[in-house]
Structures are given as structure tokens and as C-alpha cells.
Amino acid sequence: MGDPTAFVRAHTRLRPVPSLPGIRLHLADDPFALWERTPPGAGGDVGLPFWAFVWPGGVALARHVTEHPQIVAGRTVCDVATGSGVVAIAAALAGAAGVAAADIDDHALAAAALNGAANGVDLTMLHGDVVSGAGTDHDVVLVGDAFYDAQIAVRVLRFVERAHAAGARVLIGDPGRAHLPRSRLRPVAVYDVAGTGHLERSEVTRTHVWEPA
């Protein structure tokens, strides 16, 4: 598979993130061109390099944490399916006591580490399928745009509900994915996320932040 960090550096550019002033990420220009270049297995089971782009659910959640730093300030945070690490970075910048960026993809963790360093924050990398665990020992659990697949959605929901029952504050960012279990959640905030035209159907995507009902 080669060196994930070198691969991320070679196929992305460090650039600002629309709607998130002050945050810069290593991002790719074309999702499909990069998909073709990504080594087998580098994207976990799904293949698409989610780490090379900012998705509206993650951006909305990062904005919410940025605008309401009291959610994470002084608390430990786990960013589930971190991808580029944008949510984890926002939590760290908002004053979290410690932030774990969790993903099954080595390239995502490499990207999150590079992006954390580019923004002057330290993230703890958690490699593996954290949603299969019994719960979490973190104070806050953040989930950005993880309900795009039916099977994954079921597993993430179970984890979210276990973490919530254990006392963690859980927030989910989602732009209206088909598998989001709305009946078991309540909306907290809504954002219009710009700059998503190469991944979504429009340049601006209305995106909600949710929590367990």
C-alpha cells in the first residue's frame, strides 16, 4: 500500500475550508480521479477516499462546535469516522481536553494527522472499528456524515445510542442522507454549507446537527 502520509501529500493541496475560517486541510481537486489512484484497501471497505474532501455533515458539525465551544471545552472528544479530521480539529481548537480521531482507513488517519499539524493541534489517532465497541469513555462523541450506507448506519446508530446511554454528549452532522434515523433523533441546529457542488447536487447544502432523542 505504500506510505499513507506520502500518498496524502502527493494527491492533495493545503487549502482553506469554506464556512470554517482559519481551518486549512489537505484536500483533493477531483474525487473520482483520486479514487482511481487510491491503492486497493486504502479506503477501507468503501473504497472512496473520504479523507480527501470535506463533506457537509462534517462541516456543519465543525461549525456548530466552533460556534458553541462550551460543548467540548475541557472535555474529552471522540470524532467517529474522522475522514479529513475536520471535526476533530474544530473540537481541539474549541478547547477540548483531548481529541481522538477514529477511522478504519490508514490514509484517513494520515490525513487527519497532517491536517491537525497544519492547524496547530494534537489529535490522538484511533485506528479501527470503534462503533463495534461496548461504548465510549469520552465525554463527547461527534459523528459527521456517517449515515450514507444502510449497514453502516445501523451500526453507527447502535454505537451512538450506547454512548448516549453511558452519559456522553452525542452530536451528528448530516445533510439528509437516506439512512439517517430521524425518528430517533432531534434537530439541534441547521447550516447552509457552501462549496459542496463537486460532491453534492448543489453548491450549497442544507445540513442539520442532530442528537439522540
Which domains are seen in the chain, by residue range?
4-212 (3.40.50.150)
Q: How far apart are CA 102 and CA 34, in angstroms?
A: 22
pLDDT of 197 above 70? no
Helix 56-67 to helix 86-93 angle (10° resolution) is 0
Q: What is the pLDDT of residues 94-137, one digit of tens each?
A: 999 999 999 999 999 999 999 999 999 999 999 989 998 766 79
Q: What is the CA radius of gyration of the chain?
A: 16
Q: How many residues does the chain have?
A: 213
* Torsion sign over Cα 161, 127, 88, 37: negative
Question: What is the pTM (predicted TM-score) of this model?
Answer: 0.92
Rounded-to-integer distance, Cα 21 and Cα 17, Å: 7
**pLDDT tens per residue across span 32-55:** 678 777 765 544 444 578 899 899
User: Does residue 160 have a pLDDT over 90?
Assistant: yes
Distance CA 12, CA 156 (A): 28
170 φ/ψ angles, rounded to the nearest 5 degrees: -120, 130
Which alpha helices (H) appear in 99-181, and where do they start and end?
A: 106-118, 150-165
